[in-house]
Structure 1
Amino acid sequence: MFDRLRKALTTRTPAGTSVAERPRKRPHNLFEAAATYVSASVEDDEDRLAEAATWVSPEALTFGINELACRAVIALARERDESPQVVARTLLGLPADT
């Protein structure tokens, strides 16, 4: 039985690699999808945008994009020594909150 299993795992595929040698593809997580989606949007890459949108559910993608935005605002606020609210409003071109 183990011989058959070993033989099946080392059988050559048309590409010339054994099944055991193939890299295992792991599913994309929502943060990878969000990062790819946002960067593709900035770069106007419609193909990558569409691809990233298929990696996770729309709800998960929305959550990932929101989390990315929060982390970016926090990082910029720390870098600029400003409040996250000031940074967010500045990025969106809004007047300072009074």
Structure 2
Amino acid sequence: MFGRLHKFLGRRPAERSTEQPPEVRRPVKRAHNLFEAAAAYVSACAEDDQEQIDEASDWVSPEALSFGVSELACRAVIALARERDESPQTVARELLGLPAA
């Protein structure tokens, strides 16, 4: 028994992976990062897609999603401000329908 175990562990990873048939190997599920979750969440909110909102909410913790949405908002306001040649404060207030400061 130890001889087989030693022989198996002594093989290179490429040799080990051929031991299992392809149907037994599970695909590796890639984890979503907080920025992917934030992008999916915000775009789903803009499209009023509750199913996608729920799915994106499950990708990361609520705290991480909140941080990602905040970061996305900051970057969007900065990009719009540069595009419009206005201050970020002016753009943010305009987007929220607030009077100019």
User: What's the TM-score, normalizing by structure 2?
Assistant: 0.81
SS in 2 for 1:71: helix
Q: For the structure 1 residues 5 and 79, does the alpha-carbon distance in structure 2 shift closer, same or farther, using more than 3 Å as the test?
A: closer
What one-letter code is carried by the residue in structure 2 that aligns with 1:6?
T
**Please, which runs of 5 or more residues in structure 2 have no aligned partner?**
1-7
Q: For the structure 1 residues 4 and 67, does the alpha-carbon distance in structure 2 shift closer, same or farther, using more than 3 Å as the test?
A: closer
After the TM superposition, which segments of 4 or more aligned residues of structure 1 sit over 2 Å from their partners? 2-6
Deviation at 1:85, TM superposition (A): 0.2
SS in 2 for 1:34: helix
Deviation at 1:7, TM superposition (A): 1.4
CA distance in 2, matches of 1:60, 1:89: 25
CA distance in 2, matches of 1:4, 1:31: 35
CA distance in 2, matches of 1:55, 1:5: 29
Q: 1:36 aligns with which of 37, 40, 45?
A: 40
Name which one, 1 or 2, has greater alpha-carbon Rg: 2
1:26-74 per-position Cα deviation (integer Å, ceiling 9, x unaligned): 1000000000000000101110000000000000000000000000000
Q: 1:27 aligns with which of 31, 35, 39?
A: 31
**Please, which runs of 5 or more residues in structure 1 have no aligned partner?**
none
Counterpart of 1:6 in structure 2 is 18
Identity level (%): 64
